[in-house]
Amino acid sequence: MKQATSRIHIAILGSGKGSNAHAIINAAKTNDVAYEVSVIITTRPDSGIAEVGRGQGIPVEVLSADTAENGDQITRIADDYSIELLVLSGFMRMLPTSVIQHLHGQVINIHPALLPAYGGKGMYGRKVHQAVLNAGETVTGVTIHWVTEEYDAGAIIVQETIDILGLRTAEEIEGRVKSVEHSLYPRVINEMALRLEESKN
């Protein structure tokens, strides 16, 4: 990774197990990167991603169960922590347009397939891998993309193809895809943080 002179504040928003969050945080702690994880935002206080944040000493903010309030909550949190890049990781809800606009479009997501294939509402996690398996695909992949007002429809930032020939279960596919996600996401976040930092100078 390129060396950083200062760090961009990022927030990770999710509700799952938090394995990508852990990889992103770990990269920030073990490498000279251009970002720091300032806050974890989650929909459930008992989620895996919340436990990851607490275990790493990172503040955890829990959104209200009333989804109508989430937009205002996320923008407030973003301002409180001076967030410049919002990173989605296992966030299962549609992100309010107000948040995307407030962060000037600096919101990204990771999807466990080669979009536009196997994307859209309801396509997340192991459901994606099962669909890939059912279709008899021999390759799948990872997509990192900009977040818009439509599920998985934002411009693609990067994709990486993964060979799954011979894998027989959705769990096996998930494991192979996760291993790629855990290296790709921190690297892309760092590259974006470097560009954000350079744009200030």
Task: Give the per-residue pLDDT at 11.
Answer: 98
Does the pTM of the predicted model rise above 0.85?
yes
pLDDT of 160 reads 98
What is the overall mean pLDDT for the chain? 94
CATH ID of 8-200, from 3.40.50.170, 3.30.1330.10, 3.30.70.560, 3.40.190.10? 3.40.50.170
Nearest to 142, CA basis, from 113, 116, 174, 178 = 113
Catalytic (active-site) positions: 111
Question: Residues 78-117: pLDDT tens digits?
Answer: 999 999 999 999 998 899 999 999 999 999 999 999 999 9
Q: Which ranges of the chain have pLDDT less than 70?
A: 1-5
Give the whole-angstrom CA distance, residue 102 versus residue 54. 27
pLDDT at 4: 47
Tens digits of per-residue pLDDT, 132-143? 999 999 999 999
CA dihedral 147, 149, 151, 156 (to 10 degrees): -40
Least Cα distance to 89 among 129, 40, 131 occurs for: 40
Give yes or no for a contact between 2 and 34, defined as CB atoms under 8 angstroms apart. yes
For residue 13 the two structure tokens come to: 């928003």
How far CA 71 is from CA of 42, 50, 93, 98, 119, in Å, comes to 13, 19, 11, 6, 23
User: What gap in Å lies between CA 79 and CA 39, rounded to an integer?
Assistant: 11
**DSSP characters for 104-125?**
TT-EEEEESS-TTTT-STT--H
Residue 74 in contact with residue 47, Cβ under 8 Å?
Answer: no
Instruction: Please report the pLDDT score of residue 5 as a whole number.
Output: 53
